[in-house]
Structure 1
Amino acid sequence: MATIIVQRPKLAWHERWFISTLLKGLKITVGHGIKTFLQIAGRKPKVTMEYPEQKWDDHLPDHYRGAPTLVTDEHDRERCVSCQLCEFICPPKAIKIIPGEIPSDDPWAKVEKRPKEFEIDMIRCIYCGMCEEVCPEQAIFLRKDYAITGLSRKEMVHNKKRLYEIGGQRVGLVNKWNELK
């Protein structure tokens, strides 16, 4: 096999010292600075938001998908039937459900099961909304919350109790509690 020798081009003095590259970068930076100055002088609104004091809550679009949560119906009953569809469809596997049975003496024993444990790892969650779309009982919803914080990984795993606290109530027909079904 023949060896191919490639000749490197000779660089000019300004290319060797990166002067032309530096000047191109300075041109872009100064251009942005001038545009910003003209915006301030013309009293145009700022683009930058001061995050802790100012939030996007008022400016969020209707289709915004935030963190998932569990909701109850208007009678404070669990909507979730532990079908585990959300767990199976979740791309990052952030949802973990352990089904539990409803006692036979309960008036709603026909439902068969409810979640014994329900956990969502908010660190893993990618807010794709697939869990909300696949839920047959409309038990899981994505709320418009983007500031989810915690001091440890353990705090970022929301259990069933925490998810119901955050989620609240949703009014509407739920197949699980439909007496005709």
Structure 2
Amino acid sequence: MRRTAVADQTDPTAAGHPSRREPAQAPARSEADPSGGKPEPGFLSQLFAPVAGFGVTFATMFRKVRTQEYPEVVRPTQKRYHGRHQLNRHPDGLEKCVGCELCAWACPADAIYVEGADNTDEARFSPGERYGRVYQINYLRCIFCGLCIEACPTRALTMTNEYEMADAEREPLIYEKHQLLAPLGSEMLAPPFPYAEGKTERDYYRGQVTGPTQRQKDHVAQRDAEASSIPTEHEEVPR
């Protein structure tokens, strides 16, 4: 005898199937209990409800203020802070910048402008063949990214911790070379002057020059004496 399959009597579309259960409905509110069974708020909670949001304010009013009073109290920066740039010198006073303009090429904001010039035996400002005759940094464009520092081959350009450079005008924020050049140390001489005796350009970059020599001091003294003997525009030349 052939058996016939009995169809499943449980229809998933039926109303009584577990998958077709109706969502539970919230109890209807009656006219006698409009709150739906929830307890009504007390009198004190209703009274202080408008000022409950000021709890955080009142809690912090009497705490110690941690704000630093700038500029009366200047907070020190980190050692590797990217602040104002500086053109460094060698121990004898010669400039490290050789006017290669790599910093200007690496600047993504086009904030650096450099004009190089050739050194001569009579007027030497750096150990290399050239030096930076014109050096400008436009701090209206500078983003203090430090890419110019990485591009400098002689470690001439570094960044200091100085950050107080705000000004009410635009022109003072374009720094010239005399503003960026590091000040002379106690033993340094003001260029131009010749190499140290027996030293070459490579010796400067190797750190073998630790200070000015006597020959360099004599050259600078003679140069200053000759410059002081030249009459200025307002002085009359003796006849």
**Aligned-partner residue type, residue 162 of structure 2:** D
1:114-162 Cα deviation digits (max 9, x unpaired): 1110000112111111111221111111000111133421111111111
Q: Aligned partners of 1:177, 1:98: CA distance in 2, in Å?
A: 21
**Aligned-partner residue type, residue 88 of structure 1:** W
What does 1:9-24 align with in structure 2 at a 5 Å threshold?
A: none
**Aligned-partner residue type, residue 73 of structure 1:** H
Equivalent residue number for residue 39 of structure 1: 63
CA apart distance, 1:37: 2.3
Equivalent residue number for residue 125 of structure 1: 142
CA RMSD of aligned residues (A): 2.9
Equivalent residue number for residue 11 of structure 1: none
Going from structure 1 to structure 2, the CA distance change for 1:48 and 1:160 (only over 3 Å counts) comes to: same
SS across alignment from 1:179: helix
Aligned length: 141
CA apart distance, 1:63: 2.4
Equivalent residue number for residue 86 of structure 1: 103
Is contact 1:86-1:95 (8 Å) kept? yes
Equivalent residue number for residue 162 of structure 1: 179
**Residue in structure 2 matching 1:111, options 100, 105, 128:** 128
Is contact 1:79-1:138 (8 Å) kept? yes
CA apart distance, 1:179: 3.5
Say which one has the larger Rg: 2
Equivalent residue number for residue 16 of structure 1: none
Q: Aligned partners of 2:92, 2:127: CA distance in 1, in Å?
A: 17
Sequence identity (%): 26
Is contact 1:71-1:169 (8 Å) kept? no
* Pair 1:145-2:162 in alignment: yes
Q: Aligned partners of 1:71, 1:110: CA distance in 2, in Å?
A: 13
**Residue in structure 2 matching 1:96, options 101, 113, 133:** 113
Is contact 1:96-1:118 (8 Å) kept? yes
Q: Aligned partners of 1:98, 1:127: CA distance in 2, in Å?
A: 21
- TM-score w.r.t. structure 1 length? 0.66
- Name whichever structure is richer in helix by fraction: 1
